[in-house]
């Protein structure tokens, strides 16, 4: 099965141990000790989950031709043996963002905020998979779940990446953001 | 409830009577006599449905600034008393379409195929609501469900609209399309 659908289960099970949970803006999530990432939407019914977040990988919405080639050339797979650090960052953008047209959103995201360019600078050290939630149903708690994996040696670089992004114009449209750091055990 | 989620139930219930079902490309759907449009995803369990299609309205993916103003100025609501004719056109695009980047898709859709411009010419006669399915789950049968409503006097115009769109470059990426015509009773 090559599924596009992933379920992130925060609870007391899974190979990823939660190291910290920081709520940057908006409502927090219950604190949990472990994260299980399930391919598909079937989760074990008696799992003691603190929270369950679902997302689906999709076509790219903003990347244009040259950026795609550069991304494809540099990006790494998830599951590299040395990448024992991870972060799950669920984000919700505000209503102002979603009423913008496609070109207005692209302008803020890239021409102004350099989101794609910033991300490219941290490749290949940091692997990333973006999951969309907004259109799964009418009432998802977040719009995006981004999952990052990197080696312990690249910890400071990862902090640089998220700090750069949080300082952009685009981040003024972020209404909820939680930064969950994990290590593989 | 101002829900973005809609379920189209083809069966033997609902105010919309099916007049014709034409499969243009790809697998057909079972023939049904009536269509019920349900806001949300709860459908009555003993409903004799031939098929159930689900979609969610979302942010616009291709429309740019000026086009949005023109759309907002001209477009009409669904449910106009005189609009007793309708069409439901479920479409699936092929894998080639979905690997294109956002700018490549926009180029084919509008700069080349004039999809938005063609649609604007048929306003305000024809009201339209687009529902996205692709990211609801990993295995939806269609990518889009478009629902159109118009008065009987605009029947020929509606046929013109779909004929124009089907002759475009964009439609070469359509892998499945069914055209279901209905009248309100």
Residues of B in contact with A40 (CB under 8 A): 138
Burial class of residue B82 in the structure, from the number of CB atoms within 10 Å of its CB (0-12 exposed, 13-18 middle, 19+ buried) = exposed
- Which residues in chain A show pLDDT less than 70? 1-2, 45-47
**Residue of B38, B43, B34, B39 whose CA lies nearest to B15:** B34
pLDDT at B3: 86
- What DSSP character marks residue A25? E
**Encoded tokens for B184:** 């309100």
* pLDDT > 70: percent of chain A: 97
Min Cα–Cα distance to chain B from A6, Å: 10
Question: What's the pLDDT at A2?
Answer: 61
Mutation site for A-interface testing, chosen from B2, B115, B135, B142 by largest number of A Cβ within 10 Å: B135
CATH top class, domain B55-184: alpha beta
Substitution target in B64, B101, B104, B105 with the highest count of A β-carbons within 10 Å is B101
CA separation for the pair A120, A102 (Å, rounded): 22
Tell me what pLDDT residue B48 has.
Answer: 75
Q: Are B88 and B131 in contact (CB under 8 A)?
A: no
Six-digit token string for B113: 């195929």
Q: Does B132 touch chain A (CB under 8 A)?
A: yes
pLDDT in tens, chain B (185 residues): 568 999 999 999 999 999 999 999 999 999 999 999 999 877 776 667 899 999 999 998 999 888 999 998 999 999 999 999 999 999 999 999 999 999 999 999 999 999 999 999 999 999 999 999 999 988 899 999 999 999 999 999 999 999 999 999 999 999 999 999 999 99
Asked if A2 reaches chain B (Cβ–Cβ under 8 Å), the answer is no
**ipTM higher than the 0.85 cut:** no
Contacts of A134 (CB under 8 A, 6+ apart): A140, A143, A144, B58
Distance from CA of B5 to the nearest CA of A (A): 6
Instruction: Tell me which residues of chain B, numbers 8 to 27, contact chain A at a CB-CB cutoff of 8 Å.
Output: none
- Tell which residue, A50, A54, A59, A60, has the closest CA to residue A40: A54
**CB contact, 8 Å: B3 with chain A?**
yes
Q: Cα–Cα–Cα angle for B8, B12, B14, nearest 5°?
A: 55
Is the CB of A136 less than 8 angstroms away from the CB of B134?
A: no
User: What is the CB neighbour count within 10 angstroms for residue A93?
Assistant: 21
Minimum distance, in Å, between the CA of residue B98 and any CA atom of chain A: 6
CB nearest to B63's CB, from A4, A5, A102: A102
Which among A80, A104, A179 has a CA at the least distance from the CA of B68? A104
Q: Chain B contacts of A145, Cβ < 8 Å?
A: none
Question: Which chain A residue has the Cα nearest residue B106?
Answer: A102
pTM of the predicted model as reported, rounded to 2 decimal places: 0.89
Q: Test A102 with B40 for CB contact under 8 angstroms.
A: no
Does residue B102 sit at the A interface (CB-CB below 8 Å)?
yes
Q: Look at residue A41 in the predicted model and tell me its pLDDT.
A: 74
Per-residue pLDDT at B151: 97
In the prediction, which pLDDT does A100 show?
A: 95
Quick one: DSSP state of residue A12? Answer: S
The residue ranges of every structural domain in chain A are 58-184
Q: Is B56 on the interface with A (CB under 8 A)?
A: yes
Task: Name the CATH code of domain A58-184 (choices 1.10.760.10, 2.30.30.30, 3.30.70.3420, 3.30.565.10).
Answer: 3.30.70.3420
């Amino acid at each position: 099965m090559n599924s596009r659908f992933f379920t992130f289960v925060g609870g007391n099970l899974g190979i990823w141990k939660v190291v910290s949970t920081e709520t940057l803006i908006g409502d927090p999530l219950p604190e949990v000790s472990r994260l299980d990432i399930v391919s598909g939407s079937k989760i074990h019914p008696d799992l003691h989950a603190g929270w369950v977040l679902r997302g689906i990988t999709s076509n790219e919405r903003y990347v244009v031709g040259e950026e795609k080639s550069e991304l494809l050339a540099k990006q790494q797979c998830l599951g590299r043996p040395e990448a024992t650090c991870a972060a799950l960052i669920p984000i919700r953008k505000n209503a102002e963002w979603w009423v913008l047209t496609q070109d207005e959103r692209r302008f803020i995201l890239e021409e102004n905020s350099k989101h794609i360019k910033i991300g490219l600078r941290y490749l290949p050290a940091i692997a990333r998979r973006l999951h969309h939630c907004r259109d799964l149903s009418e009432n998802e708690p977040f719009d995006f779940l981004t999952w990052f994996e990197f080696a312990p040696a690249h910890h400071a670089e990862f902090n640089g990446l998220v700090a750069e992004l949080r300082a952009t114009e685009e981040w003024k449209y972020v209404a909820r953001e939680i930064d969950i750091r994990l290590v593989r055990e």
